[in-house]
Copies of this chain bind each other. A is one copy, B any other.
């Protein structure tokens, strides 16, 4: 299991794709984006256009743990990205965030094949004035810490270049 962190437009998705494509296919791309508005729908379209077969796509804006659990044994899985999944869960009033993150951690622990999780590092700016943004930033940081403790490798991508935070440099 590899956790790939990076800023906006840091090249983290492309780097994570490269990790998966180094494995034998087919590869499962788990998309967590939800097309709330045109800007978001355009980003989703761009991401999909980069992934023709042997990529297979699954959507998991909220049921991410279930989608990871149901992946065929041994299949390489790319989740892009956790930040959007966390946003979707936080905006869903019916959702139970602690239970959802526990389920996510459990599904990662149980994954049989290569699993690469992409997420935005969002904690290096000034404290946001918006209370929801502050809460989101806190939850993202906590989730990253838990996943990083579990992961075999953690990578921070800056300007398309990987910095290895945990695991092998190979």
Residues of A within 8 A of B (CB): 3, 5-11, 39, 121-130, 133-134, 136-142, 144-145, 147-149, 154, 156, 158-161, 163, 165-166
SS class of chain A's interface: helix, strand, loop or mixed?
mixed
Copies in the complex: 3
- When the two chains form the complex, which single residue of B127, B144, B160 contacts A159, counting CB atoms closer than 8 Å? B144
Residues on the B chain within 8 Å of A154, using CB: 158-159, 161
Residues on the B chain within 8 Å of A136, using CB: 126
Give min CB distance, A38 to chain B, whole Å: 11
Residues on the B chain within 8 Å of A138, using CB: 8-9
Residues on the B chain within 8 Å of A160, using CB: 144-145, 148-149
Asked, given contacts A8-B138, A9-B142, A138-B9, whether A147 binds B123 with beta carbons under 8 Å apart, the answer is: no
Q: How far is the CA of A126 from the CA of B128 in the complex (A)?
A: 8
Once the chains bind, are A147 and B159 in contact (CB under 8 Å)?
Answer: yes
Q: How far is the CA of A154 from the CA of B134 in the complex (A)?
A: 26
Once the chains bind, are A126 and B137 in contact (CB under 8 Å)?
Answer: yes
Once the chains bind, are A159 and B137 in contact (CB under 8 Å)?
Answer: no
Asked, given contacts A124-B7, A124-B121, A126-B125, whether A166 binds B156 with beta carbons under 8 Å apart, the answer is: no
- When the two chains form the complex, which single residue of B11, B124, B127, B144 contacts A124, counting CB atoms closer than 8 Å? B124
Give min CB distance, A104 to chain B, whole Å: 15
Q: How far is the CA of A78 from the CA of B113 in the complex (A)?
A: 42
Residues on the B chain within 8 Å of A39, using CB: 134
Q: How far is the CA of A142 from the CA of B11 in the complex (A)?
A: 8
Once the chains bind, are A123 and B7 in contact (CB under 8 Å)?
Answer: yes
